[in-house]
Amino acid sequence: MSDSSIEARIALVGNPNAGKTTLFNALTGQNQKVGNYTGATVSRKSGTFFTPHGHKFELIDLPGAYSLDPNSPDEEITRNVLIGDQEDEETPNLILCVLDATHLERHLYLLIQVIDLGYPVVVALNKTDSAESQGLRLDPTALSEKFGVPFITISAMTERGITQLKQALRRPFPSPPVRLWKGPAELEEAIKKSTKLAETNGEKNPAASGLMAVVKDNPEAKEFIQKTRFEYIHRAVEVGLQRPNEELLALTDRIDAQTLHPIKGWCIFTALMITVFWSIFKFAEMPMGLIEEGQETLQGWVGGLIGEGDFQSLIVDGIIAGVGGVLVFLPQIILLFFFISLLESTGYMARAAYLMDGVMNKVGLSGKSFLPLLSGYACAIPGIMATRTIPNNKERLATILILPWTSCTARLPVYTLIIPLMFAGALQQGLALFGIYALGTITALLAAKILKPRLGKTEPSQFLLELPTYQRPQWRHILQQVSERAFAFIKKAGTVILGLSIILWFLETYPKSDSDDPIVQQSESFNGQIGEIIEPVVAPLGWDTRMGTAMIASFAAREVFRSSIAISYATDEEDGEEMRDKLSASTRSDGTALYTPLVGLSVIVFFIYALQCLPTTVIVRRETGSWKWALGQLAGMTIFAYLAALLVYQTGKLLGYS
Amino acid sequence: MAKLATDLELDSALTLSQAAIGCDFQIRQVEGPACSQLRDIGFCEQMRVKKLTNGRNMLCTVCGTRLALSKDLADQIQVVPA
């Protein structure tokens, strides 16, 4: 907003699945900025664009909302921005309302509410190509006349009609439309009084605040207004929309008959999930190999440039090995985000939530918790933020508390280091990974069942979910989401992981030992000393001091476990094979193998359950509004992880495994 | 007389959870603790609704949109054959 060349601010509003973000991307291209609203973790996405007349406007992408009577924290932000109640946010000069032409009648409800706010409004009638292929006949002129605002037909996905839409946004903006409904004299009088009061109180948008205050205090008035608005919509669509025979919607019906079937639906769901996890291992092999080769070349080249000594060791063994060891997982992370975005984009994700509702309900949650939990497999932070769509507060809190047990991608570097020590072959490794994810998920759900009743009394959760029509994947949108996540991961590798790699290298290298033997050097270093202190704690888990120090370091970021192991075993971390060979060959002081399958299992179990991610704790504090929950979660999960790893190792030993 | 007609119509109304699968209905009344949320998402009086499946969570279409809703919510929607 500090950009003085911006002539006006336009708020983009629409129902979830209306194609709002696709339109936002089509209008603003690369000129986007992502931030947070004050006091909330709801992201504030804005961008700029030029109209054909050369005007520069700022476009704000508001969270999707079904109505302006908020049912979730997301919808509350949208309402607050529009009525001028959002801190640090000016009211918009115009509202661009995106409506899905294939579900027009239902989406018009938000438009009619937006019209009541008293801003200039332009409607982007999106997905008109899909509407045409479904046989819907739209009359934008009739709709414009009925609602008193311009309706521009577009297809945000194919960018059809974007130029016409930009032309419609020219200055001067259209006059604010008039309210389309009228209440009885008593109600009109109450609205008038309330508006006057809002004006006296200095509200930014008195008309909107006044109307909302009346609705809030008077359920009868609210019901009357809701019904009157829908009656108006009903009459308007009679002239503006001709619906075909519903049989034309049969494709989605036919697919749903399979995907939502009580038996076939679950088979499809399980097959899809196994395919996703198998693909992560299989398709990432080649690019990971290329990254490893690149890293080796870089290490060789840099090693040759710099003379032998501590500086060379810092660059080659500390920085390149530490950062590279994490970067090598970029292909797997890209693949996981790609599949999540793909399932969301095609409309399947809502079906998965519908299927999962039965399971979720048994543990006191609803299908609405499924998407946040699934996002948690990529990263706990967006998963925790996605819980904002859960209307029930207790259910939301329970979901946040269990969410870090859905294994995020930061754990992958640890799993992929340990699993091949236990299993050979891509299929077995894929199944082992699937098992790890399943174990985390099952424990998370059981924890929810125990936690939920202890979080206090709550209203029974009501399941209400829109199942969008199946559509072709929006490749551009998927690409954008995946690249955003990939860059965030690279940024983390270049900042947090880089810093920690330098610290780890320092702790491993100093103080210098007189001996040339790397094992003596390791034991005399700071790291070795820390390891000695924590050895009594980690020894019952079957771990040695190096694994203990790696575990301590991984509380800053899980990926560091791998870097730390690489540095302490003095291996070339980029070369996974070499590293695994060294680990397989490493022994305890009595000569027995250190990395047995039982120790591997103990490490994996610890990593499934431990909450080793400081940013997650910070986000939990912000989302729950209390350190009590954030720190309680951190302590609880760490203790649970330790006890679980202890149980696994000790039981294994009792059963005769080493 | 008009009130009598409305009362008679409401008497013959059934809840969405009782309604038969595959038939078209018109929403006559939405009443209950979640009525406001239901109206916001499209289950408003006069709207046409088609029930697709039964069960704990049922599927239906309202104005061409497919929605899944729990039995508790469906019990708050009174419908009559369209």
pLDDT digits (tens, 9 = 90+) for B54-69: 888 899 988 778 899 9
Nearest to A404 by CA among A98, A620, A550: A620
Q: What is the CA radius of gyration of chain A?
A: 28
Number of Cβ pairs < 8 A linking chain A and chain B: 106
Q: Which residues of A touch B56 (CB under 8 A)?
A: 357-358, 361
**pLDDT number for residue B10:** 60
b/e A448-476 (16+ beta carbons within 10 angstroms → b): beebbeebeeeeebbbbbbbbbebeebee
Share of chain B above pLDDT 70, in %: 85
Specify the DSSP element, H or E, that contains A147. helix A140-147
Cis peptide before A287 (omega within 30 of 0): no
Tokens of A364: 């006191």
Residue in chain B nearest A223 by alpha carbon: B36
Residue in chain B nearest A466 by alpha carbon: B67
- How crowded is residue A33: how many other Cβ atoms within 10 Å of its Cβ? 12
User: What are A43's strand-pairing partners?
Assistant: A36
**pLDDT number for residue A210:** 85
Q: How far apart, in whole angstroms, are the C-alpha atoms of residue A24 and residue A9? A: 13
Instruction: Give residues with Cβ within 8 angstroms of A485, minimum separation 6.
Output: A333, A334, A337, A378, A379
**Ranges assigned E (strand) in A141-288:** 151-153, 241-242
Q: How far apart, in whole angstroms, are the C-alpha atoms of residue A257 and residue A155? A: 28
Tokens of A403: 């969410």
Q: Which residues of A touch B57 (CB under 8 A)?
A: 354, 357-358, 367, 463
Q: Please give, rounded to a whole number of angstroms, the shortest distance from the CA of B29 to a CA of chain A.
A: 10
Specify the DSSP element, H or E, that contains A11. strand A8-14
CB A607 within 8 A of CB A411: yes
- Cross-chain CB nearest to A103 (options B46, B64, B69): B64
Q: Do A260 and B44 touch (CB under 8 A)?
A: no
**Top-level CATH class of A8-179+228-242?**
alpha beta
Give the pairing of strands A94-100 and A121-126: parallel
**pLDDT number for residue B2:** 59
**pLDDT number for residue A115:** 93
Share of chain B above pLDDT 90, in %: 23
Tokens of B79: 């419908």
Q: Please give, rounded to a whole number of angstroms, the shortest distance from the CA of A50 to a CA of chain B.
A: 34
Name the segment(s) of chain A with CATH classification 3.40.50.300. Answer: 8-179+228-242
**pLDDT number for residue A39:** 44
- Cross-chain CB nearest to A106 (options B42, B52, B72): B42
Nearest to B37 by CA among A352, A19, A465, A62: A465
- How crowded is residue A256: how many other Cβ atoms within 10 Å of its Cβ? 21
Nearest to A633 by CA among A435, A385, A386, A404: A404
Q: Do A252 and B36 touch (CB under 8 A)?
A: no
Instruction: Give residues with Cβ within 8 angstroms of A157, minimum separation 6.
Output: A19, A22, A127, A129, A474, A476
Residue in chain A nearest B56 by alpha carbon: A358
Tokens of A560: 């560091």
β-sheet with B48-51: strand ranges across:
A464-467, B65-70, B57-62, B48-51, B24-30, B77-81, B14-15
Q: Which residues of B touch A230 (CB under 8 A)?
A: 39, 44-47
- Cross-chain CB nearest to B36 (options A222, A231, A468): A222
Q: Per CATH, the architecture of B2-81 is what?
A: Roll (2.30)
Residues of chain A with pLDDT under 50: 1, 37-41, 248
Specify the DSSP element, H or E, that contains A123. strand A121-126
**Does the beta carbon of A250 lie under 8 angstroms from any beta carbon of chain B?**
no
What are the domain boundaries of chain B?
2-81
**Does the beta carbon of B54 lie under 8 angstroms from any beta carbon of chain A?**
no
Sign of the CA dihedral A451, A455, A457, A462? negative
Q: Do B57 and A357 touch (CB under 8 A)?
A: yes
Give the C-alpha distances (Å, rounded to integers) separating A252 from A258, A649, B70. 10, 50, 21
Specify the DSSP element, H or E, that contains A309. none
Q: Which of A462, A469, A470, A471 is the best residue to mutate to test the B interface, defined by the most B CB atoms within 10 Å of its own CB?
A: A462
Q: How far apart, in whole angstroms, are the C-alpha atoms of residue A367 and residue B14? A: 27
Q: Which residues of A touch B39 (CB under 8 A)?
A: 223, 226-227, 230
**Does the beta carbon of B20 lie under 8 angstroms from any beta carbon of chain A?**
no
Q: How far apart, in whole angstroms, are the C-alpha atoms of residue A572 and residue A322? A: 10
For A359-416, how does the pLDDT look when each residue is reduced to its tens digit (9 = 90+)?
888 888 888 888 788 878 877 877 887 787 787 888 899 999 999 999 887 888 888 8
Q: Do A464 and B61 touch (CB under 8 A)?
A: no
DSSP string, A160-212: BTHHHHHHHTPSSPPPPPPPS----HHHHHHHHHHHHHHHHTT-SSHHHHHHH
- Cross-chain CB nearest to A464 (options B36, B53, B73): B73
Q: How far apart, in whole angstroms, are the C-alpha atoms of residue A528 and residue A549? A: 8
Q: How far apart, in whole angstroms, are the C-alpha atoms of residue A242 and residue A351? A: 28
Nearest to A317 by CA among A125, A568, A494, A642: A568
**Does the beta carbon of B47 lie under 8 angstroms from any beta carbon of chain A?**
yes
Q: Do B64 and A102 touch (CB under 8 A)?
A: yes
Q: How far apart, in whole angstroms, are the C-alpha atoms of residue A264 and residue A275? A: 16
Number of DSSP helices (H) and strands (E) in chain A, helices first? 30, 10
Nearest to A240 by CA among A76, A73, A99, A37: A99
Cis peptide before A206 (omega within 30 of 0): no
Q: Please give, rounded to a whole number of angstroms, the shortest distance from the CA of A465 to a CA of chain B.
A: 5
- Cross-chain CB nearest to A103 (options B39, B46, B65): B65
Residue listed under structure tokens 């991307």:
A25
Which residues 340-359 on chain A approach chain B with CB closer than 8 angstroms? 354, 357-358
**pLDDT number for residue A89:** 80
Residue listed under structure tokens 């919510």:
B73
**pLDDT number for residue A645:** 95
Q: Do A106 and B41 touch (CB under 8 A)?
A: yes
Give the pairing of strands B24-30 and A121-126: unpaired
**pLDDT number for residue A401:** 94
Q: Which residues of B touch A390 (CB under 8 A)?
A: none
Residue listed under structure tokens 């810093």:
A499
Give the C-alpha distances (Å, rounded to integers) separating A159 from A25, A28, A128, A162. 10, 12, 11, 6
**pLDDT number for residue A9:** 92
Residue in chain A nearest B65 by alpha carbon: A103
Q: How far apart, in whole angstroms, are the C-alpha atoms of residue A274 and residue A272? A: 6
Specify the DSSP element, H or E, that contains A57. strand A56-61
Q: Do B63 and A105 touch (CB under 8 A)?
A: yes
Q: Which residues of B touch A368 (CB under 8 A)?
A: none
Tokens of A619: 């986000």
Q: Where are the alpha helices (DSSP H) in A306-379?
A: 310-313, 321-327, 330-346, 348-362, 370-378
Q: Which amino acid is at A572?
A: D
- How crowded is residue B60: how many other Cβ atoms within 10 Å of its Cβ? 22
Residue listed under structure tokens 């004006």:
A199
Q: Do B52 and A253 touch (CB under 8 A)?
A: yes
Q: Do B72 and A231 touch (CB under 8 A)?
A: no
**Overall average pLDDT of the B39-63 stretch:** 86
Query: Chain centroid to CA A274: how far?
Result: 21
What do you get for the CA distance between the two ends of chain A, in Å?
63
Which residues 382-411 on chain A approach chain B with CB closer than 8 angstroms? 391
